[in-house]
Amino acid sequence: MPEGDTIFRAARTLHRALSGKPVVRFESVLPGLTRVDEDRPLAGRIVEQVRSVGKHLLMQFSGDLVLRTHMKMNGSWHIYRPGERWQQPRLAMRVLVATADFEAVGFSIPVAEFLTTRELERHRELRALGPDLLAGGFDAEAAFARARERPEVEIADALLNQRVMAGVGNVYKSEVLYACRVNPFTLVAHITDADLTCLIDTARRVLLANVSTGLAPMTTYTGYRRTTRRDDPAERLAVYGRARMPCRRCGTPIAVKAQGPDARLTYWCPGCQA
């Protein structure tokens, strides 16, 4: 599943490419979107803003219309010049928003809907989100309080819960727990205030670091998240994907186990995170 940094970069790139430009073509294979386009055509509307809220991407058009998309496990947004060859098959296209200069193509997106501003403000999923780790006004105290409201939840699952704080996915979950030396299977009730503060602060720090890497202006996603200081792509993460390999701190083999209701893989060091 794309994590908060991926959606943030995609929104930033889409905004750079599309904002202030009129839509010249809109396509979709999703009936809910095509029905709105037939009644309230997208062509001619100005793309006013593209932004992320947690793992939701919001594309604002003139005339009080917002396209909300959520990538779930496999969705992605790409930017192309007109006529440029797509990197994914046409069959995977779900949404296309084109201006005279760029084509924004949403591939394999499972969740997409048009909303008015009023509907957006009342949206159940968006209203339930915890503080956004990548937001300028991130409220760490609110994230702390929301985590404490779930004392019987294992801390790894609490970090993934977007109602606690928005943006952490499965990769950062394992990496943040390792950085703070916290065992992923510990109940929130048994996490010290210092450790919980460390987890929240570290989650924000690593997500911010991964959206401030000086990427080319039209890069939406590189596939190379990094939580270590190493430049080698094979060494960019501390524990995630490194099952049975030696811990970078103590040499203990990294362990992996399915965790939580969705059986997401958790990686940790039994030595450092006892």
CB 255 within 8 A of CB 181: no
pLDDT of residue 219: 39
Distance CA 180, CA 96 (A): 42
Domain ranges of the chain: 4-128, 140-268
Q: Does domain 4-128 have CATH number 3.40.50.300?
A: no
Q: Distances from the Cα of 13 to the Cαs of 8, 142, 217, 218, 225, in angstroms?
A: 9, 29, 7, 5, 17
Cβ neighbours for 20, distance < 8 A, ≥ 6 positions apart: 46, 47, 48
Distance CA 131, CA 108 (A): 27
pLDDT of residue 99: 98
Residues with a catalytic annotation lie at 2-3, 55, 264
Distance CA 255, CA 268 (A): 5
Mean pLDDT, each 10-residue run in order, the chain (274 residues): 82 95 98 97 98 94 97 91 95 97 96 96 94 94 98 98 94 96 98 98 92 51 48 70 95 97 95 94
pLDDT digit string (tens) for 31-57? Answer: 999 999 999 999 999 999 999 999 899
N- to C-terminal Cα separation, the chain: 28
pTM of the model: 0.84
- Domain formed by 140-268, architecture: Orthogonal Bundle (1.10)
